[in-house]
Structure 1
Amino acid sequence: MLTHVVFFKLKDRSPEAVEVTKAVLTNMEGKIPVLRHIEVGTDILHLERSYDIALITKFDSLDDLKVYDTHPLHEEVKAHMKTVLDGTSICVDFVS
C-alpha cells in the first residue's frame, strides 16, 4: 500500500473557505477507482505554522498514484487548489 499525504495552506483561512476546499477534496471519494482510501482533516489549532487541510490518500501501487494524478476529477481538484493555495502544498509519499 502506498500512502500519499498532502498539506495545504490557503490564502483565505476562514472556516468557510476551508470547508469549501475540504468539500472539493472529499468529493473524490468513491469516484476514482484506484483511490483506495481518502481522509481530509482540517486544522484545529490555527497556529501561524499550521497548515489548514491535510489530505491522506492510499493506493495499491505507485502506478495507481500516477493514474490518480492524471484522472479528470483530480485534474479539476488541482485546478481549484491553484486558485486557493497560499504558495505550494507539501507532500510525503511512503509505503505503508
Structure 2
Amino acid sequence: MITHIVLFKLKEPTAENVAAAREKLESMAGKVPMLRHLEVGVDVVRSERSYDVALYTKFDSMADLQAYQVYPYHGEDVAPYMRSMSAAVVAADYES
C-alpha cells in the first residue's frame, strides 16, 4: 500500500473555512475509486508550527496514487479548491 498524507495551512483559518476545506476533502469518498482509505482531521493544538487540516489517504499501489492525482474529481475540483484556500501545502508519500 501507499500512504499519502497532505497538510494544509489555510490563508484564512476561520472556523467556516476549516469546515469547508474538511467537507471538500471528505467529499472524495465514493467519488474517487482508487481511494482505499480517506481520513480528514482538523488541528486541535493550533500552535505556530501547526497546519490547519490533514488529509490521510491510502492506495493499493503507486500507480493508483498517480491516477488519483489526475482523476477528474480530484484534479479538476478538489485540488484547485484546496490550492486556492491554502497558504502552504506539504505532503509525504510512503509504502505502508
Q: What is the TM-score of this pair, normalised by structure 2?
A: 0.95
1:56 — aligned with what?
Answer: 56
Fraction of identical pairs, as percent: 45
Structure 1 CA distance for aligned equivalents of residues 92 and 79 of structure 2: 17
Within a 5 Å distance, the mapping from 1:7-46 to structure 2 comes to 7-46=7-46
Structure 2 CA distance for aligned equivalents of residues 44 and 70 of structure 1: 31
Segments of 5+ residues of structure 2 without an aligned counterpart are none
* Structure 1 residue matching 2:58: 3-state secondary structure: strand
1:90 — aligned with what?
Answer: 90
Structure 2 CA distance for aligned equivalents of residues 26 and 7 of structure 1: 14
Q: Do structure 1's residue 79 and structure 2's residue 87 form an aligned pair? A: no
Structure 1 CA distance for aligned equivalents of residues 90 and 67 of structure 2: 20
In terms of fraction of residues, the more strand-rich structure is 2
Structure 2 CA distance for aligned equivalents of residues 37 and 48 of structure 1: 29
Please identify runs of 4+ aligned residues in structure 1 that moved more than 3 A.
none
Say what the alpha-carbon RMSD is for the aligned residues: 0.7
Segments of 5+ residues of structure 1 without an aligned counterpart are none
One-letter code aligned to 1:82: R
